[in-house]
Structure 1
Amino acid sequence: MTMQSRPDFGRVADATLSNADQVARSIGSDILSGVFAPGSKLPSEAEMLARFGVSRTVLREAFKTLTAKGLIVARTRVGTTVLDSVHWNFFDADILAWKVAQGLDVDFIRDVAAIRMAIEPAAAAAAAEQATPEDIAILRGCLSRMAEATSSASDFAHADLDFHKAVGYASGNVLMRSLAAVIETALLASFRLSSPVREAEVHEESVQGHTRIVDLIEAGDGAGAAQAMRAIITHGLDRLERASAPRKRKTTK
């Protein structure tokens, strides 16, 4: 592999990140995309220093970051090796952000949905027991924002994300409360991709589905709220899979 002689941080440098973080992001993204495959060795330290134009201290700090995230391991007289993906911590905010930046594939979309299906219905059920009037007001505020977002996929996605975070908060369970924050980047990207604002009927259906969750939480119907949450996750996954499916080319006879 030919290493570049000028600094290369994979994309435009982010002024909010340190040099070590930028190097870690670039190498981490290369690992996630398969440029550096599991089991392969990273280029030598000299090559990496030439590529990024940073000090040895900065490069080693970046390697420490990637090691902590389960992406690489360094061994004496062996070098630095990319670990198998089973070791990668996809609950790490940086790894999720790097993955999302490369685009959401169908398998990853389904993995995110499976995690949500395991946790969010239980959070909705718990919220039916624990939610305060203030929690309900916050949820209904999110519904209003979703209903008003008829032309902006980004506005709808942020309101949708805030809704699901609010359900987790209303559950009273600190772990459920943290889940949406942990996978926030992936959720926001998936909500944008599956945004219903492009179709008025689908938009209305989504708002009504979320409204049903709040109504059942407010009524104290845990089982109903859980089922309504499962329906919303399934509805979103269906839209994501349709959006991700390759379009068939029309054939001319």
Structure 2
Amino acid sequence: MEHANKDRSLVSKVMDGLVSGIVEEKYGAILPPQDVLSKEFDVSRTVMREALSMLLARDMLDVRPKIGTRIRPMSDWRMIDEDVVNWRFRAKPDPMFLRDVIEFRILIEPRASAQAAARGSAADVAAIREAFEAFRVIPPGEPGYQEADELFHTRIVIASGNQFFKQMAAIIRGALSTVTPIVHDRSGVWEGAIASHQRVVEAIERRDPKEAELASLAMIDYSAEEVGGRFSAEPPARV
């Protein structure tokens, strides 16, 4: 059992190292042969083979005869997988990726906020307020700021009671880890973020689904405008 746990730990470490190399464009389009990678990571070929198979299962790699192991475009990666989500958000963001991130949030978070207002338990609502109070007292860049923001949004998704929305929490956390540092390093933005978050909390506490949805949408729009301004990319259009 101990040996098996050690092998699983090694596989995880190798996967993490391979992904770091991929997102840092260390390998180019084709990975080196397995024996070369095994020497690079100082592991057996069995461990390397299992690590590669895990990335294959996540649609990150593609094995082709006479070509080798090709790295697939990040847009093909299986984003519903939490590991893949975390890895994808390590890469340097580009305008199209940021657009997709914001569009995803527009689809999920406003509706989750409305459902949290309509059917979240008293404990759920109290947890959202608690996360907001932690968020509002930590300035951007200070330890715990990012975690507090992510916890706030995650608790809203959980309070929605929708099992599919809960599965999306990892993507929302990843989205925030990418967008928040871009948005909140500008003067005056933090105060606006606090106000927009507070509007969502208060609507949920009043059990007002419509206002909660509108407040959440306004909160995301606020981020979209800031991101668009920084990257010269138009904020995603809404119907």
Fold similarity call, TM over 0.5: yes
Unpaired segments ≥5 residues, structure 1:
1-14, 246-253
Shift of 1:158: 1.7
Question: Which residue does the alignment assign to 2:81?
Answer: 92
Question: Which residue does the alignment assign to 2:112?
Answer: 123
- CA deviations over 1:100-134 (Å, ceiling 9, x no partner): 33332332222111111001111111112102222
Rg (Cα) greater in structure? 1
Question: Which residue does the alignment assign to 1:22?
Answer: 13
- CA deviations over 1:198-224 (Å, ceiling 9, x no partner): 63x432221121111122222232122
- CA deviations over 1:112-162 (Å, ceiling 9, x no partner): 111110011111111121022222221221221122113644433222211
Whether the 8 Å CA contact 2:140–2:184 is kept in 1: the answer is no
Q: Secondary structure, in 3 states, of the residue corresponding to 2:144? A: helix
Whether the 8 Å CA contact 1:73–1:83 is kept in 2: the answer is yes
Question: Which residue does the alignment assign to 2:236?
Answer: none
Question: Which residue does the alignment assign to 2:167?
Answer: 178
Q: Secondary structure, in 3 states, of the residue corresponding to 1:42? A: coil
Question: Which residue does the alignment assign to 2:215?
Answer: 228
Shift of 1:243: 4.6
- Residues 170/94 of structure 1: CA separation in 2 closer, same or farther (3 Å cut): closer
Q: How far, CA to CA, are the matches of 1:144 and 1:48 in structure 2? A: 47
The answer as to 2:200 corresponding to 1:213 is: yes
Residue type at the aligned position of 2:19:
G
Comparing 107-116 with 67-76, greater Cα deviation is found at 67-76
TM-score (norm 1): 0.76
Residue type at the aligned position of 1:112:
V
Where does 1:1-253 land on structure 2 (aligned, <5 Å)? Answer: 18-36=9-27, 40-75=29-64, 79-150=68-139, 152-195=141-184, 199=187, 201-244=188-231
- Residues 83/207 of structure 1: CA separation in 2 closer, same or farther (3 Å cut): closer
- Residues 76/177 of structure 1: CA separation in 2 closer, same or farther (3 Å cut): same
Unpaired segments ≥5 residues, structure 2:
1-5, 233-239
Q: How far, CA to CA, are the matches of 1:100 and 1:219 in structure 2? A: 35
Q: Secondary structure, in 3 states, of the residue corresponding to 2:89? A: helix
Residue type at the aligned position of 1:54:
V
Shift of 1:66: 1.2
The count of corresponding residues between Structure 1 and Structure 2 is 226
Q: How far, CA to CA, are the matches of 1:44 and 1:152 in structure 2? A: 41
Q: How far, CA to CA, are the matches of 2:219 and 2:50 in structure 1? A: 42
- Residues 188/60 of structure 1: CA separation in 2 closer, same or farther (3 Å cut): same
- Residues 74/93 of structure 1: CA separation in 2 closer, same or farther (3 Å cut): same
Comparing 140-149 with 41-50, greater Cα deviation is found at 41-50
Q: Secondary structure, in 3 states, of the residue corresponding to 1:46? A: helix
Q: How far, CA to CA, are the matches of 2:171 and 2:138 in structure 1? A: 25
- Residues 212/28 of structure 1: CA separation in 2 closer, same or farther (3 Å cut): same
- Residues 177/49 of structure 1: CA separation in 2 closer, same or farther (3 Å cut): closer
- Residues 178/46 of structure 1: CA separation in 2 closer, same or farther (3 Å cut): closer
What's the Cα RMSD here? 2.7
Whether the 8 Å CA contact 2:85–2:171 is kept in 1: the answer is no
Q: Secondary structure, in 3 states, of the residue corresponding to 1:74? A: strand
Q: Secondary structure, in 3 states, of the residue corresponding to 2:63? A: strand
